[in-house]
Amino acid sequence: MKRILEFLFVLAMIAALYIIIFSNMGLYWKWGSATAYFAILFITIYSLLLENRTAQHTLVWIYALVFFPLFGYIFYLYSGQLYLKGHLFKSKRKHDREELLLLAKREQKPDWSLFNEHQACFSRFAHNVTMTFQNSATQTKILKNGEETFPEIKRRLLEATRYIHIEYYIFRSDRLGKEIIDILIRKSEEGVEVRFLYDAVGSLTLASHEVDRMKKAGIKVYSFLPIKYGFFNQKFNFRNHRKIIVIDGAVGFVGGLNVGIEYLGEDQKFGFWRDTHMVMEGEAVQTLHAVFLLDWDYVSEEYLLEKEEYIKPVPVAGDGVVQVVPSGPDTQEGIMSDLYYSLISCATKSIWIATPYFVPNEAIRTALRIASRKGVQVRLMVPEINDGFLTQYATRSYFPELLRSGIEIYSYKKGFLHQKVIIVDGDMASIGTANMDMRSFHLNFEVNVFLTGTSSIKDLAEHYEEDIKDSEKVRPVGFYKRGLWERTKESIARLFSGIL
């Protein structure tokens, strides 16, 4: 009933605007149309006020509704109500929680006596609020950029003997995509089970004939939330941003790189592409695999978690603690934001952040400012040129308050920086798919890996120092002298920060 009413409201607004602006009807018709238009706006804004959102989010949507006739209302229908749409994935969230908790019960609690104070600070919080466990029998290896990531992926895929499970937000039909598809087809023909899951929006350019080619080879292929549910269905806003490969339950890949030639730096628009991926072996692969299997069950209704061959851990000698954490509409609201906040709050010496999109909530901004005021070294690295006007200028709008708190900001100039990495005190880190923005915190399906005391953290720190050499430090005096037009663009973009 609500969808029908919204549809009628849209038609009424279109008719009202047409009569007011384009028709030659009399004054009474125009006044009547204006009254109907503003009545719909009033009803929408009143309903918005009753939802008791934050003042920031409420004002953003009031601005959009009032100052963008019709388009603001349509945008609100598709994006403005998303925070309240938990029922869209209620069954998946309940099912996933039960399955993840069952897996966690199979494992032992971490021994916090082995951690130092700041490690135990974060580990205890992560243990209490997440539905996944912290694993010590896991090895991790950092893969820098596409030049290290894709050769490793291809090599491991060719070594598969039982199954390959792959899930991507963006998977293109370009040279790189075809090379991987060819490997998947080859392995399928050799008798290896291959399951392929791609996001319907992110992988919009994945050619249908490539999908057909995989299916003909015996590969099971599904898209995540295809856009076929009608104009007023909002599910297309919730995208699966995860990048997961699991091979034989023993090897897992996760990180920032999708599949496309731009991730090799071969796209002229973006040029050099700076990103970070990770390959891991051991117990934590089981959790990463569970995330894939739950997504697969949701789209295909093929339930595989009951089969031991898919969830049996393959432990290896580890050198630290590894925890895989999914987030999104199928998990606890805002869990990734809470984990980032805790990681920052537990820092005692340093916080190094690299992210392509920095549009944080107030809690994270406050945590960063307080950490810096306490004497913790806080570094933020973002790309000089972003791939979107709103994200680029919304990010810059936060620079003044960060600079005033003594936070170091670096603008990466070598190319497009796409990695999502946080390094704390040199012995804790986060790497994965979640950006530091509201879409990653609330709308997208994401997955991150939190590392404690692993040798791979040292590699992340060394790469970060190398990236600083390819960056320019934002100087407070120079930044404050930027022109009025730049400040105007930042202020406009910031109005939309609550939905970026």
pLDDT digits (tens, 9 = 90+) for 307-345: 988 988 888 998 899 999 999 888 877 899 999 999 999
Q: Torsion over CA of 260, 265, 266 and 267, rounded to 10 degrees? A: 80
Indicate yes or no: pTM above 0.95: no
Q: Are strands 416-417 and 273-274 parallel, antiparallel or unpaired?
A: parallel
pLDDT (average), residues 439-467: 95
Q: Residue 143: enclosing H or E segment and its boundaries?
A: strand 138-144
What value does the mean pLDDT take over residues 164-192?
A: 97
Q: List 446's β-bridge partners, or say none.
A: 327
Contacts of 215 (CB under 8 A, 6+ apart): 221
pLDDT band at 391 (very low <50, low <70, confident <90, very high): confident
Minimum mean pLDDT among 18-32, 263-277, 360-374: which range? 18-32
State residue 202's pLDDT score: 94
User: pLDDT: is 77 or 292 the higher one?
Assistant: 292
Q: How far is Cα of residue 319 from the mean position of the Cα atoms in its chain?
A: 28
Rounded-to-integer distance, Cα 8 and Cα 2, Å: 10
Q: Tell me what the mean pLDDT of segment 173-178 comes to.
A: 96
Looking at residue 296, what is its pLDDT? 96
Name the average pLDDT for the chain.
Answer: 89
Q: How far is CA 29 from CA 19, 476, 495, in A?
A: 7, 56, 35
Most confident of 114-128, 256-270, 291-305, 367-381: 367-381
Instruction: Return phi, psi of residue 131, to 5°.
Output: -105, 10
- pLDDT of 83 > 60? The answer is no
Q: Report pLDDT digits (tens) over 96-109.
A: 777 776 676 655 66
At 230, is the pLDDT very low, low, confident or very high (cuts 50, 70, 90)? very low
7 vs 375: which has the higher pLDDT:
375
| Cα 229 from chain centroid (whole Å) | 23
Return the minimum-mean-pLDDT range out of 112-116, 180-184, 301-305: 112-116
Q: How far apart are CA 285 and CA 291, in angstroms?
A: 10
Q: Which CATH architecture has domain 335-499?
A: 2-Layer Sandwich (3.30)
**pLDDT score recorded for residue 496:** 75
- Structure tokens given for 87: 């029922």
Examine the pLDDT at 363 and tell me if it is beyond 90: yes
3-state class of 405 per DSSP?
coil
- The two beta strands, 446-452 and 138-144, are unpaired
Split at pLDDT 50, 70, 90, the class of 73 is confident
| Numbers of helices and strands, H then E, in the chain | 19, 18
Say what the pLDDT of residue 498 is: 66
Count of all residues that appear for the chain in the document: 500
pLDDT-based confidence at residue 68 (cuts at 50, 70, 90): confident
Rounded Cα gap, residues 170 and 165, in angstroms: 16
CA separation for the pair 452, 234 (Å, rounded)? 38
Tokens of 148: 């290290």
Share of the chain above pLDDT 70, in %: 92
- The C-alpha angle 229, 235, 239, rounded to 5 degrees, equals 125
Q: What are phi and psi of 417, to 5 degrees?
A: -90, 120
What region does 308 belong to: left with phi over 0, alpha with psi -120 to 50, or beta?
alpha
**Average pLDDT, integer, range 26-40:** 90
Do residues 290 and 296 lie in contact, with contact meaning Cβ atoms separated by under 8 Å?
Answer: no
Q: How crowded is the C-beta side of 127, counted as CA atoms within 13 Å?
A: 17
- pLDDT value at position 82? 52
The answer to whether the CB of 36 falls within 8 A of the CB of 12 is yes
| For residues 142-153, average pLDDT | 98
399 vs 60: CA distance, rounded Å: 20
pLDDT score of 231? 46
State residue 209's pLDDT score.
96
Element (DSSP H or E) covering residue 166: strand 163-168
What's the pLDDT at 57? 72
Rounded distance between C-alpha atoms, residue 162 and residue 249, angstroms: 9
Please tell me the predicted confidence (pLDDT) of residue 201: 92
pLDDT of residue 357: 94
| Cβ atoms of 416 and 257 closer than 8 Å | no
Q: What percent of the chain has pLDDT over 90?
A: 62
Question: How many whole angstroms separate alpha carbon 267 and alpha carbon 357?
Answer: 20
Higher-confidence residue: 46 or 279? 279
How does 386-399 read in b/e, with b if 16+ C-beta sit within 10 Å? beeebbbbbbbbbb
Query: Is pLDDT of 376 > 80?
Result: yes
Residues marked active site are found at 241, 243, 248, 418, 420, 425
Flag whether pLDDT at 166 surpasses 50.
yes
Whether residue 89 is predicted with pLDDT greater than 80 in this model: the reply is no
Which residues belong to CATH 3.30.870.10 in the chain? 88-109+138-318, 335-499
Residue 396: in which H helix or E strand, if any?
helix 389-397
pLDDT of residue 90: 67
Q: Which CATH superfamily is domain 88-109+138-318 in?
A: Endonuclease Chain A (3.30.870.10)
The CA-atom distances, in angstroms, between 351 and each of 338, 340, 343, 411 are 16, 11, 9, 16
